[in-house]
Structure 1
Amino acid sequence: MRCLRWTSDRMFVAYRQYYLQGDEFLTEYDDCDTVERIFAGNSLAAGGPEHLTLFAGTHTGRIRLTTESRAQEPPSTGAEEWETVVDVSVCSTSGVLRLFRWGGDVEEDAGNFATAGAGWYRVRARARGRDAGETHTGDEPVEEHFLSVWPAPPGPDVVHRADDAFARAHYDPARPPGLPVHP
Structure 2
Amino acid sequence: MTLIARHGPAWTYIDYHQFLLMKPDQQDYVPEEAGRLLSTTGEGVLVHTGIANGNVAVHIEIHDHQPPLDDADWEEVAEASTKVEHGPLMVRCLTADPPALPMLTPAGPGTYRLRAHARGRDIAYDGCVSRSPEVYLIQIWPAPRAQTDRPVRQRPAPPRTPRRGVATPALFRDR
TM-score between both structures, scaled by the size of structure 1: 0.77
User: 1:1-150 to 2 correspondence within 5 Å?
Assistant: 2-23=3-24, 25-26=26-27, 30-32=28-30, 34=31, 37-39=33-35, 43-76=36-69, 78-103=70-95, 105-107=97-99, 109-134=100-125, 137-150=128-141
| AA matched with 2:47 | L
2:10 & 2:23 partners in 1: Cα distance? Answer: 23
Distance 1:170 1:61, change over 3 A: closer
> Is contact 1:50–1:94 with CA below 8 Å preserved after alignment?
no
Structure 1 residue 115: Cα displacement: 1.6
Structure 1 residue 3: Cα displacement: 2.5
Structure 1 residue 116: Cα displacement: 1.2
1:128 & 1:72 partners in 2: Cα distance? Answer: 24
1:99 & 1:46 partners in 2: Cα distance? Answer: 14
The alignment partner of 2:33 has SS state of helix
Aligned-residue CA RMSD in angstroms? Answer: 2.3
Please, which runs of 5 or more residues in structure 1 have no aligned partner? 172-183
1:83 & 1:5 partners in 2: Cα distance? Answer: 21
User: Relative to total residues, which structure has the larger helix share, 1 or 2?
Assistant: 1
Percentage of pairs with the same residue: 25
The alignment partner of 1:81 has SS state of coil
Please, which runs of 5 or more residues in structure 2 have no aligned partner? 165-175
Q: How many residues align?
A: 160
| AA matched with 1:75 | P
